[in-house]
Amino acid sequence: MILNVGLLALYVVVSSLGLFALKIASGPLSTHFAVGLGLYGLGFAIWYGMLTRMPLSVAFPIAAGSLVMATQLVGYLFLNESLRFGHLGGIVLILAGIAIVFAEA
């Protein structure tokens, strides 16, 4: 269980940083693009590792919801994007969904 949570956390961090690097890239030949693509690829490898250890019906909703929340945070902290009431409400609902899925696992 601890390994699964660790893989999930690593997946979310690596993938959200990869998406951030891709977002700020000036083009497909830039350093940020290469770093973003590499991190996103690493995130895919971690995702595969999660799938070998967890049921898909547990891994996917938890990983997808966590990545949505992480990208909201990255956008707010590093890209000056707003977090409006709807975003915050969505995050609360995602957290509730993750808690329910974890409780059933």
Separation CA 47–CA 44 (nearest Å): 5
Residue 1 has pLDDT above 80, yes or no: no
C-alpha 74 chain-centroid distance? 10
**b or e along 62-71 (b: 16 or more beta carbons within 10 Å of the residue's beta carbon)?**
bbebbbbbbb
Tens digits of per-residue pLDDT, 19-67? 999 999 999 999 999 999 999 999 999 999 999 999 999 999 999 999 9
**What is the model's pLDDT at position 105?**
72
**What is the model's pLDDT at position 102?**
84
- Cβ neighbours, 10 Å, residue 19: 19
